[in-house]
Amino acid sequence: MNGYELSRAWFDFSFNNTAKVKPVHSAIFFFAIERCNRLGWKKEFGFPTDLAMEALGIKNYKTFNRGLQDLVAWGFIQWVQKSKNQYTANIIALVKITKAPPQALYKALSGHCTKHSPRQVQSTYQGIASIDKQVNLKPINLEHINQKALFEVEKSEIKKEQEVYFEWALKFQKLFLKNLKRKNAPSKKAKEARFGDCVKPIRKMLEIDGVNEMQLQLAYDILDGEDEFWKGIILSTEKLRQKIIQLIAQGKKIKEPKKLMDLRVLDKVKNYD
């Protein structure tokens, strides 16, 4: 399964169901493809409602939810776990449609292109100009990398889709070391923390928990600030994942940017309380 197959299946369906399909359906489906691609084509992945609505410019939760429900009903998306509300993440999977493509679309496209550009039609349908996605040919031993110390891993050793998690894990691990040194506390464990142990909690926060990078930055700023309370408690990304909601709540006391401390975060704080 790849983006081209999913795209073709969608437009085959869309062309034959013009009375059903609306722009919101295409927007949601293609954003789901984009997120799945960025996550390395995971079989199941987090699809945060607030993130999708913001990216697509959809202001009404009911509009988004109806569109997603339609895609599930039509067989393009599978719901693995439904979100409780608009501030939590769905867990979904993309479904490969195996039905034969409708001839009506081929005829319509072929007729349209023949009138305007016959040479282009010939090259396209004879498969002369094919497009293939670039693949990473460098072999990557994930188990080996997961066991390596985080600070020993080079960016070139990891997959593209892991880079953002790696960068955040590295950033926080350096901060944990700095906070330990400030207290003259032993830092061997933090220095030798393994790649998998550091990166996995970051990935889960961003993919599953619905945490965004602005909220991670807020947590970082608190742990790097003057307040000493959390510095001796949060010394790993796993502990960070456990306490991220409290950190976001505390952000109000340090004049957190208004845009960040919006209804999404307030809802998470209420759930925690």
Closest CA to 182 of 250, 221, 232: 232
pLDDT value at position 120? 43
**Distance separating alpha carbons of residues 252 and 96, to the nearest angstrom:** 44
Distances (CA, A) of 208 to 44, 203, 211: 10, 8, 8
The whole-angstrom separation of Cα 166 and Cα 174 is 12
Token pair in block for residue 24? 């919101």
Q: What is the mean pLDDT of residues 100-107?
A: 50
Averaged pLDDT for residues 241-262? 69
Looking at residue 96, the DSSP 8-state letter turns out to be: -
Give residue 5's pLDDT. Answer: 85
Q: Whose structure tokens read 């926060």?
A: 205
Helix (H, G, I), strand (E, B) or coil at 256: coil
Distance CA 119, CA 268 (A): 57
Structural domains of the chain in order of their starting residue, each with its CATH number:
3-94 (1.10.10), 142-272 (no CATH)
Instruction: Quote the CA–CA distance of 200 and 194 in Å, as a whole number.
Output: 10
Q: What residues have CB less than 8 Å from 236, skipping those under 6 apart?
A: 176, 190, 193, 197, 198, 201
Band (231; pLDDT cuts 50, 70, 90): confident
Give the mean model confidence (pLDDT) for residues 36-45. 88
Q: What are the pLDDT digits (tens) for 199-208?
A: 999 999 999 9
pTM (predicted TM-score): 0.46
Q: How many CB atoms lie within 10 A of CB 141?
A: 10
The phi, psi pair for 207, rounded to 5°, reads: -90, -40
pLDDT band at 63 (very low <50, low <70, confident <90, very high): very high
Going by pLDDT thresholds of 50, 70 and 90, the confidence category of residue 242 is very high
256 has pLDDT over 50: no
Two tokens, residue 48: 């945060």
**In the prediction, which pLDDT does 228 show?**
86
